[in-house]
Amino acid sequence: MPQKLGQHFLASPPILERIASAACPQPIERILEIGPGQGALTAKLLNHAGRVIAVEVDAAMVAHLRERFPGEPRLEVVHADVLTTDLTRWGQIPVAGNLPYYITSPIIEKVLRARLPRAVFLIQKEVALRLTASPGSRDYGYLTVHTAFFGHARRLFDVKPGAFRPPPKVDSTVIAIEPHAVPPAVADPEGFLRFLGQCFRQKRKTLRNNLIEMYPKAIVEAWPEAAMRAEQIPLERFLEMFLRLPPQASAAVRISG
């Protein structure tokens, strides 16, 4: 496969089976696979699901999949870019995949927004640590809180480079993400995400210094969190701070942004 796509193919049958089992803990009707590549995980998913919809951007891999699974009525190979594909067109179904490192975050964000019932992905370990970090840790940041706003992410197990062909230079991790049963009660979710992004604008600065660029100085400076850094604060407290902002402050940011 062309190296420009940044793909490393998982070649360990036991690990492939563990991923398929995590994505389908019991037999299911349908599952969506992102980036099936040569079809190693696809084959395992077909043992757990009645139908697999595999979205692949590379034309050569699409041709390979159709040759590998000729006449397989339970497999639908879709030649498309996942970032421009409506992931809900097949319904609210689980999703799995070995994600290319260079577009991991955009794919995860798209899946989170689609609120699919379960996602199981093989990703770079460094990103997995950021997704599941605790406040105050060095890996905690915008990606952590952004993910926590939409759902719950957890690490399942690590995968060493030797399980891939060709081996990557970093360790990988399998993660599971599930949406919240009840989303956070925020009337303006996009406004909250803009607020969150501003809180983490410069990680080493205090909230006061990051927020007064876009929000009323008098309000922000009165907050007990003003002297704290964003990396110290859990999602629930960010939500509390956002709700303290007067409606006109959020509206002004929408207009200026």
Q: Residue 245 in contact with residue 194, Cβ under 8 Å?
A: no
Distance CA 118, CA 196 (A): 25
Bridge-based pairing of strands 9-10 and 164-165 is antiparallel
**Regarding the domain delimited by 3-179, which CATH topology (the fold level of the hierarchy) does it fall under?**
Rossmann fold (3.40.50)
**Residue 96: C-alpha distances to residues 53, 93, 121, 137 (Å):** 10, 10, 5, 28
Cα-flanking dihedrals φ and ψ of residue 150, to 5°? -95, -30
pLDDT at residue number 246: 85
Mean pLDDT by 10 residues, the chain (257 residues): 61 98 97 97 98 97 97 97 97 96 94 97 97 97 97 98 95 97 92 96 94 92 96 97 81 45
Distance CA 170, CA 127 (A): 11
- Give the torsion sign (CA, 107, 33, 57, 126): positive
Q: Where are the alpha helices (DSSP H) in 91-165?
A: 104-114, 125-131, 142-150
Distance CA 125, CA 248 (A): 41
pLDDT at residue number 250: 56
pLDDT at residue number 101: 87
Residue 92 has a CB neighbour count (10 Å cut-off) of: 12
Q: Could you tell me where the beta strands, DSSP code E, fall in 4-144?
A: 9-10, 28-34, 49-56, 75-79, 95-98, 119-124
Residue 153 backbone class (left: φ over 0; alpha: ψ -120 to 50; beta: rest)? beta
CA atoms within 13 A on the CB side of 95: 27
Domain ranges for the chain: 3-179, 189-256
| CATH 1.10.8.100 is right for the domain spanning 189-256 | yes
Nearest residue to 142 via CA among 80, 69, 220, 235: 235
* Global pTM value: 0.92
